[in-house]
Amino acid sequence: MSDPIDSRRRSFLALGVGAGVGWAGGWRFGARAASRAVADEITAPLSELEYGQVQFDAGPLDDQARENHRLVLGLDEDALLRPFRVRAGLPAPGHELGGWYDTYAFAPGATFGQWMSALSRYYAITGNVASRDKVQRLVLGYAATIDADGSFYRKNRFPAYTYDKLVGGLMDARRLSGDDAALAALARTTRAAEPYLPARAIPRNEHARPGEDFSRHAWDESYTLPENQFLAWGMTGDRRHLELGRRFLYDEFFAALARGENALPGKHAYSHVNALSSAAQAYLSLGTPMYLAAAQRGFDMVAAQSFATGGWGPDEHFVVPDSSALAASLADQNKSFETPCGAYAHFKLTRYLLRITRDARYGDSMERVLYNTVLGATPIQPDGHAFYYSDYTRRAEKTFHPDRWPCCSGTLPMIAADYRISTCFTDSQGAYVNLYVPAQVDWNRNGAMGGLSIQTDYPYASTVLMTLRLPSTQTFTLNLRIPAWTRGAALAINGRRETEPLAAGRFAAIRREWRSGDRIELDLPLVQRLESIDAAHPETVALLAGPLVLMRVLKENDSATSPVARAALLAAQRHRSGRHEWQATTEAGSLTLKPFLDIDAESYSAYQEVLPS
């Protein structure tokens, strides 16, 4: 969602909160015979683990999950239900939550479904009974407000958006909290919302102005609906969801992408990346290759116009390919990347594509977004102030959105839970390790239990130690992501160095008979390098060390635009104390650089100017 007040550069609104669930059992093909031939050709996608099968050790990923769990568990239930109760003409005790969420505010109740999702996911992770009980009370409280007239959706800017998040929340309540009432509420929710949905996926109305036009779905995001509809079809067998999924497939957008036409420029960034997950799920549900091609090519086009952080969409919009728009945005556009929502959509899309294709570059991309954007988001405050945009201008700071409870307060609690299901995957042949994070991982492949512990200080250190836990000796393939940016990656098993070189940018497949306690030591040299913002600005660069963008910390009188020598930047060294800080020695003095997640209240510059080489 974009800020409804600040419309300096654009007169329309951009709503965007992540939809959908990564449902491990959700891939299926339609019963149509026509799909069968396609189905036979496709290798089944990698399976996700369950939320509770990955437990993080102490560190920033675990901290972010705990913070967000605490936040959603503490939200006032009457305030959460108030927009639904008041709009249904029911008694509504208590007070409004505030900000965008209020009964007649910008996006009434829009984050309710996402918080139900998040709380269900945290229950699945922790087994915390208070979380499950709260989900069940919210489902019942919400269900009591659904009326046959769909009163909630009347004079509502975002019927499709809010309905989509409710579908995701109710599905998560069912599958993760075991709440049977959620499926009945889902069926009634769909009946209530349907009359208020447009006839088809309609583009955002770029001419709508804030405060106007509730009737033509001007700012709604109907093109993100299919993902959850196909998943709901898989969960319930209700063909109404299959029909809605098909009805809202954004075929004009997807067909163009699948043909290789770049249909991104000018489009609202977050919601269209979110729509690509609908294309991916449509491929899994219907078996139509065009939808996979749309998701893959769409991702490539997004990647080609991304910042070095992995973020994209300055001022929430895609730019013209090969233009200087990204470089120009560094001068004055501090809405560089809609971070929690964008990262949520990015994780979801790359998770689909990684599962379907087993291509390691989707994991590389996910990792970049993780460390350089969302993991550095300032925690949501109890009053609803939330981190929204990453800022890549030349004297940037971390700030909150001025309005409380914006869209990004709905997606941050969900993505902080989803790091777990993005860490490892399995297939019939073995397991895939995608994120090297300190964790205890359990899996169950074809009835064979197993797991591993990951011990590492990566990406601050290059070494990752994995120790297998197996009930008995097992033969399987362990696939380890070797990032494309590394050089000279090395592997040792039980202390014996493997001599076969590890190709960067691929999963290294190690098939052997494994025993419990086997130790796998992986070394991924954190190559330091410069990446220019675009081909036309080779002197505007970001410094990277492994997956981390090292951002320059600015003192009061520093200028981030006075150029430094390329070699000086490249030779930046990690601080001797071991703290998360690098120093570069230049002719003008010493520069301090830090990864985004280690930046607090300091001013910083993501990009630096270097002297021509």
- Considering the complex, state which of residue 407 and residue 466 has its C-beta at the smaller distance from Zn ion: 407
CA dihedral defined by 567, 568, 573, 579, rounded to 10 degrees? -130
- Considering the complex, state which of residue 249 and residue 407 has its C-beta at the smaller distance from Zn ion: 407
Residue with nearest beta carbon to Zn ion: 341
Residues in 397-426 that interact with Zn ion by CB under 5 A: 407-408
User: Smallest distance, Å, CB 414 to Zn ion?
Assistant: 11
Rule CB under 5 A: is residue 19 a binding residue for Zn ion?
no
- Considering the complex, state which of residue 12 and residue 460 has its C-beta at the smaller distance from Zn ion: 12
- Considering the complex, state which of residue 183 and residue 341 has its C-beta at the smaller distance from Zn ion: 341
Phi and psi dihedrals of 475, rounded to 5? Answer: -100, 120
CB 238 within 8 A of CB 232: yes
What is d(CA 114, CA 19) in angstroms, rounded to the nearest whole number? Answer: 8
What is d(CA 582, CA 559) in angstroms, rounded to the nearest whole number? Answer: 18
Q: Shortest CA distance to 350 belongs to which of 481, 543, 225, 528?
A: 481
Candidate segments 103-111, 339-347, 372-380, 396-404, binder of Zn ion by CB under 5 A = 339-347
Candidate segments 20-28, 275-283, 334-342, 413-421, binder of Zn ion by CB under 5 A = 334-342
| Helix (H) or strand (E) run with residue 102 in it | none
Both tokens of residue 332? 């004055």
- Considering the complex, state which of residue 406 and residue 483 has its C-beta at the smaller distance from Zn ion: 406
- Considering the complex, state which of residue 22 and residue 406 has its C-beta at the smaller distance from Zn ion: 406
Helical ranges in 25-111 per DSSP H: 33-41, 60-74, 77-87
User: Smallest distance, Å, CB 169 to Zn ion?
Assistant: 17
> Tell me, what amino acid is at 109?
G
- Considering the complex, state which of residue 249 and residue 408 has its C-beta at the smaller distance from Zn ion: 408
User: Smallest distance, Å, CB 358 to Zn ion?
Assistant: 30
Candidate segments 191-199, 313-321, 333-341, 481-489, binder of Zn ion by CB under 5 A = 333-341
User: Smallest distance, Å, CB 179 to Zn ion?
Assistant: 27
Candidate segments 96-104, 141-149, 332-340, 605-613, binder of Zn ion by CB under 5 A = 332-340
Candidate segments 311-319, 326-334, 337-345, 561-569, binder of Zn ion by CB under 5 A = 337-345
- Considering the complex, state which of residue 274 and residue 486 has its C-beta at the smaller distance from Zn ion: 274
Place of tokens 């297998």: 468
What is d(CA 610, CA 613) in angstroms, rounded to the nearest whole number? Answer: 8
Q: Shortest CA distance to 347 belongs to which of 361, 336, 363, 360?
A: 363
Residues in 543-562 that interact with Zn ion by CB under 5 A: none
Q: b vs e for 515-532, b when ≥16 Cβ sit within 10 Å of the residue's Cβ?
A: eeebebbbbbebebebeb
The site map against Zn ion for 280-309 (x = CB under 5 A) is ------------------------------
What is d(CA 275, CA 349) in angstroms, rounded to the nearest whole number? Answer: 9
User: Smallest distance, Å, CB 461 to Zn ion?
Assistant: 33
Place of tokens 């001025």: 402
Rule CB under 5 A: is residue 273 a binding residue for Zn ion?
no
CB 72 within 8 A of CB 413: yes
Question: Cα 230 to chain center, whole Å?
Answer: 19
- C-alpha angle 550/456/378, rounded to 5°? 45
- Considering the complex, state which of residue 338 and residue 427 has its C-beta at the smaller distance from Zn ion: 338
Residue count at the site for Zn ion (CB under 5 A)?
Answer: 4
Helical ranges in 88-158 per DSSP H: 112-126, 129-143
User: Smallest distance, Å, CB 408 to Zn ion?
Assistant: 4
Candidate segments 136-144, 195-203, 336-344, 530-538, binder of Zn ion by CB under 5 A = 336-344
Q: Shortest CA distance to 232 belongs to which of 50, 31, 21, 432?
A: 21
Residues in 571-610 that interact with Zn ion by CB under 5 A: none
User: Smallest distance, Å, CB 269 to Zn ion?
Assistant: 11
Both tokens of residue 182? 């959620």
Rule CB under 5 A: is residue 341 a binding residue for Zn ion?
yes
Candidate segments 22-30, 57-65, 338-346, 549-557, binder of Zn ion by CB under 5 A = 338-346
User: Smallest distance, Å, CB 424 to Zn ion?
Assistant: 28
- Using the Cα atoms of residue 296, residue 297, residue 302 and residue 308 in order, give the sign of their dihedral: positive
User: Smallest distance, Å, CB 524 to Zn ion?
Assistant: 32
- Considering the complex, state which of residue 146 and residue 407 has its C-beta at the smaller distance from Zn ion: 407
- Per DSSP, the chain holds a count of helices (H) and strands (E) of 17, 22
Q: Which residues are near Zn ion by CB under 5 A?
A: 338, 341, 407-408
